[in-house]
Amino acid sequence: MIVRISGEDQYQLPDEQADRLDALERAAVEHVESGHEDGFAEDFRALLEFVREHGTAIGDAEIETSDVILPPSDLTFEEAGREFTGEGLIPD
């Protein structure tokens, strides 16, 4: 599957890693829900690190559409709160 980290690169990630990716993403969002900033920062970093580590970067000249798009690495806790909880789910 193809995963994009917004503002960075697209990665080809083996399909069997999908569950792990999902679990990491869920962990990060749960921290946003519970207002746990440090936990969020840690898990969000782990999520992106996981993709970079287990994925293979897709060349700039290759044209692919992503299956999953993750937020940019400099996403702040505040932004995450706006985007991924409550009201934030309604697109702006």
Q: Does position 51 bind another protein by CB under 8 A?
A: no
Least distance to another protein from the beta carbon of 7, Å? 5
- Contact between 62 and another protein by CB under 8 A: the answer reads yes
- The DSSP line for 13-33 is --GGGHHHHHHHHHHHHHHHH
Under the binding rule (CB under 8 A), the answer on residue 78 touching another protein is no
Contacts 24+ apart (CB under 8 A), 23-28: 24/50, 25/70, 28/80
Does position 61 interact with another protein (CB under 8 A)? The reply is: yes
- Residues pairing with 23 in the sheet: none
Q: Which residues bind another protein (CB under 8 A)?
A: 4, 6-7, 9, 22, 25-26, 28-30, 33, 60-66, 68-72, 74, 80, 83-84, 88-89, 91
